Structure formats: structure tokens, C-alpha cells
Structure 1
Amino acid sequence: MALDPKPRSTPSPVILVVEPYGGSIRHQNPNLPMVFWDDAALTRGDGIFETILIRDGKACNLQRHSERFKASAALLGLPEPILEGWHKATEMAIEEWYAHPSAGDASCTWTLSRGRASTGLASGWLTVTAVSAEKLAQRENGVSVMTSSRGYSVDTDLPGIAKATRGEVSKVSRTPAPWLTVGAKTLAYAANMAALRYATANGFDDVIFTEDDRVLEGATSTVVSFKGDKIRTPAPGGDILPGTTQAALFDYATEHGWRCKEKDLTMDHLFGADSVWLVSSVRIAARVTRLDGYKLPKPDNEKQIRDLITKALG
């Protein structure tokens, strides 16, 4: 019997340091240290990030990621990202990534930190890494999901909160609680990661956060349901981060005859749907196969839905 061919090696991570104020873009050896000891990204988790899917030599859904990156920076009072520099760095990283013969889908992360306490200057960098085997398997096989309270809530009735956290940066200065950054994609993801570890330890793959019976979002994803020709997602703003993949899906699906709507969803809505999905930039779409231990049916149009979401990302 012939032996399986030796698997091809995975490309090394690509790291570029991006000068936030419009200066140089330089390569960084992934095996050498880069961030200083007093950088706020390390000492305070004080910064923002965006994660972008790299596929077939292109950055998917780049404009929406760029807009959310800019809005997140405004919410935290960080320097406004010079997007031309981030786009150029992304192009450079993609070219380097695909120079490797075994390069496939990749995850590109932009990070903007408040920077060093000793200089007061922001710092930024970009990384490109392979999509994990776990994410690839979840794309294909779906995920078993538990629901859980997130442990905090946001008073979305405060004037300006909902609009500010949807990324309407012109409203931020009028927000009565300007320190609220839940609408920004910040580096403070320790609680989200702890929720995922808890789920794994208890036999699940992922988490959907809820508030009483109201559905919020996944730990690192947006919840989307399908029923007939209707696509629904919890209305973003306040305590729900607007999803770039979900936004792309709704735009594309609407053009192709689906009826898309953002609205408050309950657990009964999820159990009554034809199918429930967690959508995100790199994992793209993972169907929820079990929810709190209850098996959810596999829809007849699963392939159609997968194709719809994939095409929505271009």
C-alpha cells in the first residue's frame, strides 16, 4: 500500500510593523520580540483590532473592516488610522504569504495600540497566519453551542449609546458615558476567550451570549438565522458589535431576493428557525448543529446557504 505523501509545511507568519502616523512599513521577524514592555496593548489591553480573511490573494470585505477599524479608533480616542498605509501593508503581506507554495486561506489581523507609556505614541502592526485546522473543521462540520449570560449589560437608552456603538463616530462626543467601548473591537477579549474555554470544558464548541431570553451574539461571531426566504440577526448597537460578515451577507442576499432584517431575537426564534449560523470573518460560517444540548435540524438548502455567505464575501 502506498504511503500518504508528506504534508506540505505551513507558511511562517508574516508580520509587518505599521507606523500609525503615516510613516514606514517594515517587516518583522516572527521569531524575534517586537512589542515594548510598556506598550498599552500589553499592560492595559488598550487598543483595537480587525481580523480579515485572506483568500485567493485578496483581502475579503476590506471596506467594511476598514470602516469598523476607523470607528473603533474614534471610540477609544486613538489616532485615526491612515487606511492607505494599512491597505498597502496588507497587500505586501498577501504577496509574501502567497509566495509560499502551500499557502491557502489566511487570517490577517490589524492591531492598533495606544502605544508606549514612555513616549505617548501609538503603535501598530499586522499579522498574517494560516487559518487553524479547528476553524476549517467547524466550517465544514458545524458547531455545538451553549448559551450563557455575558455577565454585564449596557444601558442602551442612554442618549447616543446605540448610535455610537454602531460606529457613527460623529456622535461619540455627545455620548454621556464616553468611556463605554463595547461597540469597538478592542483588544480586551479575555472574557470572550474564557467563555470559549468554559464551553470547550463542558463539551461545547462555542457560546451564544443572551440576556434573559434575548439573543445577543457569539463570543467571536454574529448570530444569523434562516427560515424560508427570511434571514434574521439580532439588531446591533449598544451591547452587540456590528458584524462585517453579517453586513456583507445582508447586502448580497437582499440583492438576490432574500428578505433580511435586523431585529431582537429570542431563543424560541432560534429553535424555530430552519437553521442557525455563527458568521465571522475567518471561520466564515459555522452551522449550529446543537443548541444547549438540543439537536437542530440540518436544512435542505445548507449548500445554498454556504455558497450565499461565501459569495457575499467576494
Structure 2
Amino acid sequence: MELRAPIIYVVEPYGGSVRRHNPTLPLVYWDDAAVTRGDGIFETLLVRDGKVINLQRHLDRFRSSAHLLELPDPGNAQWAQATKEAVAEWSEHSESDATCVWTYTRGRESTGIPSAWLTLRGVNQKVLEQRRDGVKVMTAPRGYSITTTLPGVGKAEAKPAPWLTVGAKTLNYAANMAALRYARSKGLDDVIYLDPDSERILEGATSTVITVRKGKKLRTPYAAGDILPGTTQAAVFRYAETKGWRCKAKDMPVERLLDAESVWLVSSVRVATRVTAVDGVELPAPDNEDEIRKLINRALAAES
């Protein structure tokens, strides 16, 4: 029997206990920074065949995100334990893929103690359809610029602006969600962001872009200060290189979306969905589509 209600575990901060939470009861307080400021971080993980995929990469990025936001170190042990318990409970009822989300906030204003919990539930049907059928995308600038140097600092002494958290997976996803709603209002499925000045490919609204090129080449945009490093992309590249693929992160103009053998959006739960059209230009299915799907799925299996 499939579970309808999510599985929720509270993770006490500072290496405390892990406890099951009743999903019918409230959890977040009115003055929690997640509610009032969107101030916190999250990670989304795939659970497949009773195993967590890419666990160590998610733990590493989670801790990196916390560091960038000057949150207390979330640690590894209690998150791994809570996830293990939630996955075991899920596996008693279902063999289907599941979505596990870790959430870690700055906590209540009245206490200053961080809030932390995870949820685990089945993969959304829309996500399953996109895995199978692919997505039509539009390209667009983010709508805002990211400056990676402090104003007034000379080029010789230029340093990253310390308040920028592009490399962190923060809860502040309102702009990304708005971009997706806009795309859907136009009959499309997703958005690929471009640098407004150079039209360099950045990333999807909630995914990493990978292009497949002739000669067994995989390419992804170089993850500088304006792109979140992708855990799925990293796993794919690591595995693909062992199978003779030449993998490289590099700056790519928008034209690389149109002259590639195929274009893929990869993320933890959606795994890989092929881009079937860009700005109204159809991208035909390549002859090696099945090979690429198998490559990506085997890469993730190798990380479980």
C-alpha cells in the first residue's frame, strides 16, 4: 500500500536527537526565519530501490550551503540517520521512487535556535511524465544581475561579495517558481537561464543543463559564481568518464542548445529529462537517446 501522507522527521540542531513527526500536526512556528524571511537552505534527494542516491554529495553541499549562510554546521550523522529511518519506513510500503527533502532554517526569532526537518514522499506524477516525455523550454535572463565583486574595490583587489549565496541551495526560490509559472502560462514546461550580457547558458530554474555532442562528449556550463553546482551532473560526469566519454564544464553560448545531439535537464528527483524544444525550435530525438538515459541512471545507481 502506497503511503499518502509524507514521512517527516525532526532533526534537533547541534547534533541532537532525531524524532518522527506526525504530519497532521503543525511543525513550523510563526516567527521562523523560513516563514518570515525565506532564510534557510534545503537539499532534495532521490530515494530509489530503498537507497538514497548521491548521499555524500548532498551532505557536502548541504554543509557548504550552511557555511555560506553562516548557519551552524548541520553535521552529517543525524541527517544520515534520519534519512535512513525515513527510507526504511517508506520501503515497508512502496518500491517506487521517493523524494526526500532536507530543510534547515535560521530558526525562530524568539529563540535563535535553528529549525531542521526532512520530509519523504512519492515522486510527483508530473515529474514522472517529464522524465518520460521531455520538456519544452524557453530561454530567458534571470531578471536580475549577480555582481561578484564589491563596489568600489579595484580590479587587483576584487573579491566575491560576501553576501552572495548563489552557490548555496537556499529556500528563497520564489523567483525560480515565478519563472516556471510564466513558462507554463505560455504552454511551455521549463526555463533555461541565460546571462543577459553574453547569452551564456547558465542553468535551468531547478536543474543543471547537460548537452550531448558528437564524439561521446558531454558538456555543462562552468559553475562559477552565478550557477549552483549540480550533484546529479557531477555523478553523471564521474561515471561517464569511466565509460569513455569526454566530459567538460565550460562556458557555452545559447547556440550550443541548438547544435547539440541532445540537451538534458538533470536534477536529483527528475533525474534526466530531454529538452524537446527551445524557444519554439524543435529538437528531434537523437539516435542515442536510450543510451544517454541508461548512462545517467547507471551513474546514479553507482552513487547509491
Q: TM-score range by the shorter chain?
A: over 0.9
Within a 5 Å distance, the mapping from 1:31-110 to structure 2 comes to: 31-100=24-93, 102-110=94-102
Match of 1:112 in 2: 104
Instruction: Give the secondary structure class of the aligned counterpart of 1:20.
Output: coil
Map residues 10-21 of structure 1 onto 2, 5 A cutoff. Answer: 10-21=3-14
The alpha carbon displacement at 1:176 in A equals 5.0
1 CA distance for matches of 2:22 and 2:253?
A: 47
User: 1:5 aligns to what?
Assistant: none
Amino acid at match of 1:132: N
Letter in 2 for 1:24: S
**Aligned position for 2:279:** 292
Gaps of 5+ in 1: 1-7, 160-173
CA contact under 8 A between 2:149 and 2:159: conserved in structure 1?
no
Q: Are 2:135 and 1:143 aligned?
A: yes
Corresponding position of 2:203: 217
2:148 and 2:175 map into 1 onto residues whose CA distance is 21
Cα shift at 1:237: 2.0
Take 1:283 and 1:86, find their aligned partners in 2: how far apart are those partners?
Answer: 22
Contact 1:105 1:130 in 2 (8 A): yes
SS of 1:313 mapped into structure 2: helix
| Superposition deviation, residue 129 in structure 1 | 1.1
Match of 1:301 in 2: 288
1:254 aligns with 2:217: no
2: CA distance between counterparts of 1:289 and 1:62?
A: 30
For the 8 Å contact 1:143–1:289, the answer to whether it is kept is yes
Counterpart of 1:280 in structure 2 is 267
- Contact kept, 8 Å, 1:41 with 1:115, in 2: the verdict is yes
**3-state DSSP class of the match of 2:258?**
helix
TM-score computed with the length of structure 2 as normaliser: 0.93
Whole-angstrom CA distance in 2 between matches of 1:289 and 1:202 = 16
Distance 1:223 1:210 in 2: 11
Given residue 92 of structure 1, which amino acid in structure 2 is its aligned partner? E
Following superposition, the deviation at residue 10 of structure 1 comes to 4.2
Measure how far apart 1:82 and its partner are.
Answer: 1.4
Q: Which amino acid aligns with 2:242?
A: E
Q: Deviation per CA, 1:236-283: give whole Å up to 9, x if none.
A: 021100000000001000111000000011111110000000000000
Q: Which residue of 1 aligns with 2:116?
A: 124
Q: Deviations over 1:204-231 (max 9, x none)?
A: 0000011132110000000000012110
**Residue of structure 2 equivalent to 1:3:** none
Question: Percent identity between the aligned chains?
Answer: 61
Contact 1:207 1:219 (C-alpha < 8 Å) held by counterparts = yes
In the alignment, structure 2 segments of 5+ residues that lack a partner are 152-157
Offset from partner CA, 1:60-107 (integer Å, 9 cap, x none): 00111111001000000001011010000000000111111x441000
Match of 1:182 in 2: 166
2:17 aligned residue: 24
Compare 208-217 and 129-138 and name the one that shifted more.
208-217
The separation in 1 between residues aligned to 2:261 and 2:300, in whole angstroms, is: 23
- Answer whether contact 2:149 2:161 (CA < 8 A) is retained: no
Match of 2:217 among 214, 225, 230: 230
Q: Amino acid of the residue matched to residue 273 of structure 2? A: A
CA contact (8 A) 1:10 1:103 kept: no
CA offset at residue 9 of structure 1? 4.4
Maintained 8 Å contact 1:147/1:209: yes
* Equivalent-residue separation in structure 1 for 2:242 and 2:95 (angstroms): 33
* Separation of aligned partners in 1, 2:149 and 2:288: 39
Contact 1:112–1:124, Cα closer than 8 Å, also in 2 = yes
Q: Residue type matched to 1:141 in 2?
A: D
Aligned twin of 1:208: 192
Shift of 1:20: 1.8
Distance in 1, matches of 2:14 and 2:148, equals: 34
The alignment partner of 1:129 has SS state of: strand
- Structure 1 runs of 4+ with >3 Å offset: 8-11, 156-159
2:79 is paired with a residue whose SS is helix
Give, in angstroms, the shift of residue 182 of structure 1.
1.4
Which residue identity lines up with residue 209 of structure 1 in the other structure?
Y
Distance in 2 separating the partners of 1:131 and 1:59: 14
For residue 229 of structure 2, what is the aligned residue in structure 1? Answer: 242
Aligned partner of 1:205: which letter? D
In 2, the alpha carbon distance for the partners of 1:9 and 1:16 equals: 19
The AA in structure 2 aligned to 1:25 is: V
